[in-house]
Structure 1
């Protein structure tokens, strides 16, 4: 499956020894790094769905250091060759990578498993409460049509 145009994934590497581990997250020479705006941390409880929203000006870079999440992206950019395409990523402590989400791509996640998930995210702009760059859609938006339920296989 081809991914949504502009979305980038960076696999993370843990350097472990008998003391623990070290892992670089984001560097200013990474292809996905644009400019620094803000770094944030959020925690969500099991079963929570936080979806969907998108930005006109802001790019996001997501990382889940603990727990597990199903991440869903939907391309809202009418001029994109992947317009209206939906992609799914499984991220978390057992699958460590950064995910670059370009402006105009709706994004959200569902917490998987029995424990909370933490997300660290970086943006290229600081949040402005007076003029928030955020448009919201319902998690079950019919235009996106994503089924969040877990299927038995």
Structure 2
């Protein structure tokens, strides 16, 4: 696992009305501070990759649909520099994923349904000075093959 990445399994409390689940609490020390919460929806097959931040950490959760999430450690001082991690997140695996600053990240929507992501950041977005550095989805340094392998 890439250094600094955290995964939290989501616990659902179910009854005859539906379910309730806590995503993140301040006493879990997952985020060092809270900046912003956002939500996005992407259609099947869409790849949103790659970008990274120099100042903020991201905390990702997919409440609907399913996604293949890819991380690549760009940090010079990290023991896991140059490593790639892959996580499968969404309805079939409801986890929270903390992505530290300096780790490139992106995802591909799996299946035939759109995927919704809710994400929390330790900094608010600043349009005049965005903390977002972009890399191509097929960046040769990362070298990730997004194709689904047939069995």
TM-score, normalized by the shorter chain, greater than 0.5 = yes
- Measured in 2, the distance between the counterparts of 1:48 and 1:124 equals 26
Correspondence for 1:139 = 137
Dislocated runs of 4+, deviation >3 Å: none
CA contact (8 A) 2:69 2:108 kept: yes
Correspondence for 1:41 = 39
Correspondence for 2:14 = 16
Residue aligned with 1:87, SS:
strand
- Counterpart selection for 1:111 from 88, 92, 109: 109
- Measured in 2, the distance between the counterparts of 1:125 and 1:59 equals 8
> Counterparts in 2 of 1:58-77, with a 5 A limit?
58-77=56-75
- Counterpart selection for 2:83 from 82, 85, 92: 85
Correspondence for 2:124 = 126
Residue aligned with 1:80, SS:
coil
CA contact (8 A) 1:57 1:103 kept: yes
C-alpha displacement at 1:34, in angstroms? 1.4
Residue aligned with 2:28, SS:
coil
Structure 1: which 5+ residue stretches go unaligned? none
> What is the CA RMSD across the aligned residues, in angstroms?
0.5
CA contact (8 A) 1:4 1:87 kept: yes
- Measured in 1, the distance between the counterparts of 2:104 and 2:30 equals 18
Correspondence for 1:7 = 5
- Measured in 1, the distance between the counterparts of 2:71 and 2:31 equals 19
- Counterpart selection for 1:98 from 91, 96, 99: 96
C-alpha displacement at 1:93, in angstroms? 1.0
